[in-house]
Amino acid sequence: MDISYPPETEAFRSEVKGFLSDALPADWKGIGALDEDAAWAFARDWRRRLAERGYLSLTWPEQYGGRGLSKLHQVVLMEELALAGVPFGLPQDTFGVKMLANTLLRWGTEDQKTHFLPRILSGEDTWCQGYSEPDAGSDLASLRTRAVREGDEWVIDGQKVWTSGAHHSDWIFVLARTNHDAPKHRGISFLLVPLHQPGVEVRPFRMMSGQLHFNEVFFNGARTRADLVVGGVDNGWTVAQSLLGVERGEEAATNPILFKAEVERLVELALLYGKDQDPVIRQRIAWCWSKVEIMRYLGYRILTGWLKGAEPGPESSIAKLYWSEYHTKVTDLAMDIMGLHGQVPVGRPPLRTYRTDDPGAANSSASWSTTYLIARSGTIYAGTSQVQRNILAEKVLRLPREPRV
């Protein structure tokens, strides 16, 4: 495996480093060092700067407001942003800029691209993802939300759950069953649905960390235009699978950076609590460091396939299982280091509602204890650990398929 970067991407890396040097204060420690209000103000302004520079749409064709650069350029950008401790836009840009925009570029009609892509880029439209349902999480193809064609509209009835950021969104891309006579994977369509309309109810619910992030979304006669199907009627499963691969390369590059920064904070935490000479604590920290290094090389392997255009394979399940299970262990260790202090959250909780706290965050009990709670959800969202193990057992080890009910 060749993990070096070609000259043209290294020239782009120099461009990004120069931009960051000019745009950030000399004493910048990362967005995690800011209080909550200041962090949100920074993130909104930072998104505007990235958009103006063409970094939000780096790989989009120029005709849609992009710079037409390669996936590897995108990886370089994400690496440098992560190292600098700055975000890639706002939280909902994960769904609008990363997921939906790239899906429209591959599957969308020309009208869909010319209408939605500029609005996604400007932030005029914010998006969320309508996939999981109460009885269709691990087995997504069993979804029951249905859409029926009535004239020039689709009428949608059903429920979605674990919908991140729906209470802050204008639109939702929804998987709905449009053909009940077809096999379950073949009768699904990918619909673009406005949230601000009669027939749609969004109900946020509070996580055990105290944060509001997930929602239930109810559709009761909600409507969307007939032409807002992406990839063709009854072809939604194929579209959805391609969307799931969009983040694979970026996460492979940035996850090791974020988790390494977290281990470095963990070392500082041990020093702060006088546990740095405890032989058991030292061994557990060394274990965490070794796992992050393994994660880095696993990331290179995944990145190689992604850059070659390969569809998501078992290595994606390995990565998801690896980092999510690892993260429960490292946050367990942080709680053990803090002892009873960890039971009394003090300071700013994490700004992020998944994975690690932001780079530059203080070693406060609120930061670590909330991240500890968030880590548990990492073994559930985006495919539970049990589902990932089943995928690996069946596709890699060639074991018999688990009996389906």
Q: pTM score, two decimals?
A: 0.89
**Rounded to 5 degrees, what are φ and ψ at 58?**
-55, -40
pLDDT average, residue stretch 274-296: 96
Residue 120 lies in a domain: no
Average pLDDT of span 338-366: 91
What is the CB neighbour count within 10 angstroms for residue 396?
A: 13
Take residue 285 and report the two structure tokens written for it.
């920290």
Find how far residue 157's CA is from the centre of its chain: 27
Say yes or no: 387 and 275 in one domain: yes
Same domain for 226 and 243?
no
For residues 125 and 252, what is the distance between their CA atoms, to the nearest angstrom?
Answer: 28
Residue pair 368/331 in contact (Cβ under 8 Å)? The answer is: yes
Provide, rounded to the nearest whole percent, the portion of the chain with pLDDT above 90.
Answer: 73
Same domain, 196 and 251: no
Domain boundary among 184, 205, 233: 233
Would you state the structure tokens that stand for residue 250, as one six-digit string? 């970026």
Tokens representing 108 are 């969308």
Q: Residue 252 domain-assigned?
A: yes
227 and 348 housed in the same domain: no
Per-residue pLDDT tens over the stretch 97-149: 999 999 999 999 999 999 999 999 999 999 999 999 998 776 788 899 999 99
Q: pLDDT tens digit string along 172-209?
A: 999 999 998 898 888 999 999 999 999 999 999 888 77
Residue 279, judged by CB atoms within 10 A of its CB (0-12, 13-18, 19+), counts as: exposed
pLDDT, residue 306, reads 79
- Pair 215, 272 in one domain: no
Boundary residue ending a domain (61, 89, 117): 89
How far apart (Å, rounded) are the C-alpha atoms in residues 11 and 1?
22
Domain that holds residue 144: 127-233
Region 258-282 average pLDDT: 96
pLDDT at residue 354 in the model:
82
User: Would the CA dihedral through 77, 82, 84, 89 be positive or negative?
Assistant: positive
Q: Are residues 244 and 384 in the same domain?
A: yes
CATH number of the domain bearing residue 25: 1.10.540.10
Contact 363, 272 (CB under 8 A): yes
Asked, for residue 337, whether it belongs to a domain, the answer is: yes
Q: For residues 265 and 329, what is the distance between their CA atoms, to the nearest angstrom? A: 15
| Residues 267 and 191 reside in one and the same domain | no
Chain centre to alpha carbon of residue 138: 17
Quick: pLDDT tens for 33-46.
999 899 999 999 99
> What does the chain come to in residues?
405
Q: Taking phi first (over 0 means left), then psi (-120 to 50 degrees means alpha), and beta for anything else, what does residue 299 get?
A: alpha
Q: Which residues are catalytic?
A: 247
DSSP alpha helix (H) spans, 273-313 = 279-307
Distances (CA, A) of 59 to 45, 81, 98, 299: 22, 16, 11, 20
User: What are the backbone dihedrals phi and psi of residue 355, each rounded to the nearest 5 degrees, phi first?
Assistant: 55, -130
| CATH code assigned at 280 | 1.20.140.10
In whole angstroms, give the CA distance from residue 347 to residue 284.
Answer: 26
The residue out of 214, 233, 252 marking a domain boundary is: 233
pLDDT at 383 over 70: yes
Residue 316 domain flag: yes
Same domain, 269 and 388: yes
pLDDT digits (tens, 9 = 90+) for 141-170: 889 999 999 999 999 999 999 899 999 999
- Establish if 105 belongs to a structural domain: no
- 54 with 144, same domain: the answer is no
Residues in Cβ contact with 17 at an 8 Å cutoff, skipping those fewer than 6 apart: 80
Same domain flag for 265 and 379: yes
Residue at 119 is within a domain: no
Cβ atoms of 261 and 359 within 8 Å: the answer is yes
Same domain, 248 and 373: yes
Domain count, the chain: 3
**Res 352: pLDDT:** 83
pLDDT at position 405:
62
Q: Find the range with the poorest average confidence among 6-20, 61-75, 203-217, 222-236.
A: 203-217
Would you give the DSSP letter of residue 190? Answer: E
Q: What angle do CA 204, 207, 213 make, to 5 degrees?
A: 45
- Which of 354, 167, 393 is CA-nearest to residue 247? 354
Q: Cα 282 to chain center, whole Å? A: 32
Q: Which pLDDT value is given to residue 168?
A: 93
Would you give the distance in Å from CA 279 to the centre of its chain? Answer: 36
Higher pLDDT, 212 or 204: 204
Q: What pLDDT was estimated at residue 216?
A: 96
CATH code for the domain in which residue 206 is found? 2.40.110.10
What's the CA gap between 139 and 322, in Å, rounded?
21
Residue 339: left (phi > 0), alpha (psi -120 to 50), or beta? Answer: left
Burial class (CB within 10 angstroms; exposed 0-12, middle 13-18, buried 19+) of 78: buried
CA 209/CA 218 separation, integer angstroms:
24
Please tell me whether residues 244 and 356 are part of one structural domain: yes
Residue 94 lies in a domain: no
For residue 22, is it within any domain?
A: yes
Note the pLDDT of residue 197.
Answer: 97
